[in-house]
Structure 1
Amino acid sequence: MSSSPLKIVIIGGSAAGPKAAAKARRTDEFAEITLIQRDPDLSMASCGYPYYIGGTFDDRNLLVCTPAGIPRDPKFFDKAKRMTALVRTEAINIDRDTKTVTYKNLDTDEKGAVSYDRLVLATGAAPVCPVAPGFDLEGVLTLHSMADADALRAIRDEGKVTRAIIVGGGLIGFEVCEALRLAGIETTIIEKTPQVLPFLDPDLAKLVENHTRAQGADIIVGNGVAEFLGEDGQLTGVKLDNGTELPAQLAVIAVGVRPNIALAQMAGLEIGAKGGIRVNEYMQTSDPDIYAAGDCVECTSLITGESNRAPYGDLANLQGRVVGQNVIEPGSARFPGNTQTGICKIFDFTVGVTGLSEASARAAGLDVKTVVISGLDIPVFMGGKLLISKLVAERDGGRILGFHCVGPGDVSKRVAIMATAIMGKLSVADMVNADLPYAPPYSLALDHVIIAAHALENKLKGRMRGISVSEVKRKVDAGEDVFILDTRNPAEYEQMRLGIGETLIPQGAIRGRLEELPQDKDKEIILYCKISLRGYEVASILKAHGWRNLKVMEGGIMAWPYPREK
């Protein structure tokens, strides 16, 4: 006599939940699967919301359809997946003793219950909203649901809003900024911390800020929203912490998200130190018959072993797949952790990160060495575009810990390579001879990430001393006694210069003009060029001639985020 089919209940229908449901069905054709979703939509491509708002595509259904164009609605889940999907339905209680979930239909208030053998929590996260008067005014929105996306798209299409405020300078804030600017709306990003994209290296973040300003958006950092101003219930502007008032008919809150853990807490499940549901490598909660995945859980850093939160759609799908297999075959799949990899399009720039920043690595107690490089993604004769990157590695052993990359070039490929390197615990020495694909349409003969490894190897071995652009700026502003050497050619110098008291001696002329350098061989000399390759080569020449205090400005002029002379 065959055993009764497993009863699987999944709470949450955005990313992790449907993925878990689909994997469970593929693993067990006969399991009874029930999916409970509070919103009216299922399996939404939420990362596509900003592009729908901005007009990259106009068909809303593309956000909820399969690649074959079939809407992922309850009928689809019934016919294609043979499972019950309850939408506009909220799970309100979990009874772990009787293994029962009680739910309520949000349209009718009718209650029901469903029993489970194994339960999955994919309850996601909710937007963090500023505690400020006027938050309930019409015109103050978030971007978290399909309803939010619909509302912002309608505002774009109506064309009545002329000024908008984005509260929060993270990834979502910048994506919304681009969408609104493409609609011709004057947009200002307000970021409470001292820099936009707080997870990004500060010098690279400044380059992104400059690029965003060049696209017509404004950015205010180190300031928060104290009050949303309005008349007759409608938003008219915002008041900042410093008292400045900015007019606006629209404010989009993009401060971040916090895990939806209320249901888990009511059920007595363990919550981690970072505020998410605690799970093990099998995505099991403290109750072995209850699993959790997606934005509501805590992850484990593959670098430090510490807990973190990573509310990304790709991780939600990966975790959902692990859960879907384990609810049918417990212990058969693992999710070992994450490297905090993310990417974002900001107008013509891409911003990509993986692993630890220099600041977060040092905060974790790691002794690190870093390098910044600038260069093209492909050869200039193939239309190469600029990339500016920062590589972080352990000083002892050279294990790669992090990689940040920005620019109009192909950032995604380089971040993907370095994310894999971090996951594989590769070192700088492993990357200096990495066998990567090469052809002019796709990369340089030595790819950007290999160049980064070469530069950091030179620093680790003491062949080069680097200095960041921000440290150069600090020294100049402080009036420190340093000699600044520009090693470019005169044509480049006439086209663009930094205007920081530099002396121009082209690389090809340096050996014949050594007498123009400070004759005190211990005098600090800072060298640079467009990307600082020539700066490094000239430093090698000067070192051979006895100069001892040579520093190469990493990334060169291309990494300089401050005003330049033209």
Structure 2
Amino acid sequence: MPQQVVIIGGVALGPKAACRFKRLQPESNVIMLDRSPRISYGGCGIPYYVSGEVSDITGLQSTAFHMVRDPEFFRDIKDVDARSETEVVAIDRTAKTVTARHLPTGRQDVIPYDKLVMATGSSPRKLPIAGIDLPGVHTVDSLEAAEAIKKSVAAGGVGSVAIIGSGFIGLEMAVAFADMWGLDVTVIELFDQILPGVTGPTLSAMARKHMEDKGVAFRLGEQVKAIEGEGKVERVVTDKGEVEAELVILSVGVVPNSGLAKAAGLDVSPRGGVLVDEFMRTSDPDIYAGGDCVEVKNLVTGQPMYLPLGSMANRQGRVIGDNLAGGASRFEGVVGSWCVKLFDLAAAGTGLTQAQAERAGFDAVTTHITAIDRAHFYPEHELMSLELVAERGTRRVLGLQGLCAMGDELIGKVNTVAAMLPHKPTVADVSNVEVAYSPPFASAMDILNTVANAADNILSGQNKGISVTEFATIWADAGSDAHIIDCRENPQGGPLVEKHPGRWHNIPQGQLRGRLNEVPKDKPVVLMCNTGARSYEALVTLADAGFQNVVSVEGGMAAVKAAGVDV
């Protein structure tokens, strides 16, 4: 039986739900309403438009066959009545109508529905400070904002940029300004690391060091107090100083647009997300919701979470489209997968970090390795850093995060674990997971298997590792009595012995059994090699010889250098 479906929101989920439903019920009528002038675009591509990698703004609104997804496209190609610049101001659940206002004219229409879909998205979080409305202060939330940002930079009046927030969009915008435009870029972050909440401190330090090497400055652990300027932005004031800037990007997260749902009496969580079941139904069975305006289930913790990602919105849109047509498709939840490109480095992850795991009540441990991402004898290879988070006792894998110059290679590892996480894999499962092998693509013992093997050694007590962050603390303490042994060969370790006499010692791993008398038993011993493999072998040797206060630096000198620890 034909239906009338009204969809509020036309960026990601709305168009996907509309088109899927129309394919299943071509005889039904779909009206899609959005308050913006342009609809159905890839907002995640905005930094790449600003950088110039996407040359034309219509590229973010076009199909793969170069048709612009405007209202005419939806009318003629998809048989969907798409109305831009039209804002829904009220929902009457009893009468099953929405009241929509055409913004250019102010005309209001009352539109009946059989089923309603809320795809209202999110809005940038606003800081409660003076100056956020000054000319030159931007958020990155629409194609119009993207055009304004690029226009101001291209005009040549901007030499310095301050970015408030070091999440995905903030860092992508930093790359765009520094790489394409050569601007002086400073990122200001409230937390003491970049990518807070999605990476641990070691990977964060590595990513920050890479961006600093490319010219981006960071002010970490600083709270923004105000944005100042005479008629336009000139500086950002923090609790620790000032940052001169002719352009400011606010990138401190988003909040779900749930006001319309709340006003209609739908259930909304304390943090503001619309509550839905696995069929994407709200508390009203005739109203569905998805995308940035809803909360979803975290399949690792079992708890609700907020995950505003276009990829998730598209998958949910298909589920909603099925169910509008009488189907029973489910969206079970998410594990929280992500990736971001930072100049020549890719960062990616899935599941929980150690900090997230501990907040969720897990007794978690993180294992870090930095190793070659494919066969060592193959001429083209890169170092990859992976961190596997697992629960002690059960050995359940809770998450994986990593960095590598070969982004596709890294994302393959992350996606493998992401597919496993809903099924509560153990360290042994990842240790033995089958992956495709050929020297140009992987090692015979894949790095994903290796990080799980390293985690197994730590969980069983066979290896006692410390992170680069922990090593940095030891190294910064000039009064530390830690005895550092470089397990590499003399051409690598010898120069550091000369540079740091009395602090740095060199005993190649292959010589250790014959030189045990040089290792003190009354001091903590810290073992170092290039990636952590030889220092682990050295730890086994020392443990067998009765040494107890011994640790190995995970990731070795490769990780130490990447994190910017000066030795």
Q: Given the two structures, how large is their TM-score scaled by the length of structure 1?
A: 0.95
Q: Which moved more, 1:29-38 or 1:480-489?
A: 480-489
Question: What are the equivalent positions in structure 2 for 1:401-550 lying under 5 Å apart?
Answer: 401-409=398-406, 410-478=409-477, 479-493=479-493, 501-518=503-520, 520=521, 523-550=523-550
Alignment length, in residue pairs?
557
Counterpart Cα distance in 2 of 1:213 and 1:476:
22
Which of 329, 343, 347 does residue 347 from structure 1 map onto?
343
Q: Secondary structure at the match of 2:449?
A: helix
Number of the residue aligned with 1:328 = 325
- Aligned 8 A contact 2:417 2:430 in 1: no
Note if contact 2:496-2:504 (Cα within 8 Å) is conserved in structure 1: no
- Secondary structure (helix, strand or coil) at the match of 1:547 reads coil
* Pair 1:300-2:297 in alignment: yes
- 1:26 aligned to 23, 40, 50, which one? 23
Report the equivalent of 1:88.
85
- Partner SS state of residue 234, structure 2: strand
* Secondary structure of 1:295 counterpart: helix
Structure 1 residues 96 and 120, CA gap change in structure 2 (3 angstroms): same
Deviation at 1:405, TM superposition (A): 0.5
SS at match of 1:282: coil
Q: Measure the CA separation in 2 of the matches of 1:460 and 1:241.
A: 42
Question: CA 1:189 to 1:494, structure 2 compared with 1: closer, same or farther past 3 Å?
Answer: farther
Partners of 1:152 and 1:495 lie apart in 2 by: 49
TM-superposed CA distance for 1:224, in Å, is 2.2
Cα distance in 1 for residues equivalent to 2:156 and 2:489: 49
Alignment of 1:196 with 2:198, yes or no, is: no
Q: CA deviation at 1:492?
A: 2.1
1:393 & 1:539 partners in 2: Cα distance? 22
User: Conserved in 1, the CA contact under 8 Å of 2:472 and 2:565?
Assistant: no
- Partner secondary structure for residue 551 of structure 2: strand
Amino acid of the structure 2 residue aligned with 1:319: Q
Aligned-residue offset at 1:395: 1.2
Deviations 1:378-426 (A, max 9, x none): 2343321121111111112211101110232332111111111212321
For 1:370-385, list aligned pairs within 5 A.
370-380=366-376, 381-385=378-382
% same residue: 37
Larger CA deviation: 195-204 vs 475-484: 475-484
Shift of 1:502: 2.1
Deviation, 1:203, is: 1.6
CA offset digits 1:23-73 (Å, max 9, x no partner): 111221111101001111111011111011101121221110111111111
Tell me which of 327, 343, 358 is aligned to 1:362.
358
Whole-Å separation in 1 of the counterparts to 2:3 and 2:144: 34
Change in Cα spacing, 1:372 to 1:278, as seen in structure 2 (3 Å) is: same
Please state whether the residue corresponding to 2:163 is helix, strand or coil: strand
User: Which stretch shows the higher mean deviation, 183-192 or 154-163?
Assistant: 154-163
Q: Supply the distance in 1 between the matched residues of 2:50 and 2:206 (Cα, whole angstroms).
A: 25
Runs of 4+ in 1 over 6 A off after TM superposition: 495-498
Quick check: 1:274–1:307 contact (8 Å CA) kept in 2? no
Q: Report SS of the residue matched to 1:416.
A: helix
Tell me which amino acid in the other structure corresponds to 2:543.
Answer: K
Structure 1 Cα separation of the partners of residues 249 and 135 of structure 2: 11
Kindly indicate whether the alpha-carbon contact (under 8 Å) linking 2:57 and 2:143 is maintained by their aligned counterparts in 1: no
**How far off is 1:105 after superposition?**
0.8
Deviation (angstroms), 1:512: 2.3
In structure 1, the residue corresponding to 2:313 is in which secondary structure? helix
User: Does the 8 Å contact 2:91/2:98 carry over to 1?
Assistant: yes
**Deviation of the 1:514 alpha carbon:** 1.8
CA–CA separation in structure 1 for the residues paired with 2:151 and 2:492: 48
Distance 2:24 2:456 in 1: 47
1:443 aligned counterpart, secondary structure: coil
How far off its partner does 1:370 sit?
2.1
Residues of 2 paired with 1:467 and 1:236: CA distance? Answer: 44
- Deviation for aligned residue 1:465: 1.2
- Secondary structure in structure 1 of the residue aligned to 2:268: coil
Return the alpha-carbon distance in structure 2 between the equivalents of residues 25 and 80 of structure 1.
11
Query: 2:115 maps to which residue?
Result: 118
Q: Would you say the 8 A contact 1:400–1:421 is kept in 2?
A: no
Query: Over residues 204-259 of structure 1, what are the superposed CA-to-partner deviations in whole Å (9 max), with x where a residue is unaligned?
Result: 1111111111110100011122111111x2111111123x2222110010011000
Asked if the contact 2:464/2:552 (under 8 Å) is kept, the reply is yes
Show the counterpart of 2:233: 235
Aligned to 1:250: 247
Secondary structure of the residue aligned to 2:64 is coil
Q: Does 1:164 find its partner at 2:161?
A: yes
- Distance in 1 (CA, whole Å) between partners of 2:222 and 2:551 is 35
Where do 5+ consecutive residues of structure 2 fail to align?
Answer: none
The alpha-carbon deviation at position 369 of structure 1 amounts to 2.6
Contact 1:382 1:440 (C-alpha < 8 Å) held by counterparts: no
Q: Give the SS at the match of 1:351.
A: strand
Q: 1:535 touches 1:552 (CA, 8 Å); kept in 2?
A: yes
Q: AA paired with 1:348? A: D
How far, CA to CA, are the matches of 1:358 and 1:563 in structure 2?
Answer: 22
In the alignment, the residues of structure 1 paired with residue 191 and residue 394 of structure 2 have an alpha-carbon distance, to the nearest angstrom, of 34
- Structure 2 residue 266 is the aligned partner of structure 1 residue 269: yes
Cα-to-partner distance string for 1:422-479 (whole Å, 9 max, x where unaligned): 1232111112122100112211111111110110011122211111222223334443
Distance 1:444 1:106 in 2: 58
Report the TM-score, using the length of structure 2 for normalisation. Answer: 0.95
Q: How far is 1:496 from its partner?
A: 6.8
User: How far, CA to CA, are the matches of 1:83 and 1:194 in structure 2?
Assistant: 48
Preserved contact between residue 496 and residue 564 of structure 1 (Cα < 8 Å):
no
**CA distance, structure 1, for counterparts of residue 557 and residue 469 of structure 2:** 12
Structure 1 SS opposite 2:5: strand
Aligned to 1:47: 44
Other structure's SS at 1:513 match: helix
Separation in 2, partners of 1:325, 1:408: 39
Cα pair 1:391 1:404 within 8 Å, conserved: yes
Structure 1 contact 274–308 (Cα < 8 Å) conserved: no
Q: CA–CA distance in 2 between the matches of 1:138 and 1:229?
A: 11
Q: Secondary structure at the match of 2:346?
A: strand
Q: 2:287 maps to what in 1?
A: 290
Contact 1:341 1:355 in 2 (8 A): yes
Between stretches 544-553 and 50-59, larger displacement belongs to 544-553
Residue 180 of structure 1: aligned partner = 177
Measured after TM superposition, the shift of residue 494 of structure 1 is 5.5
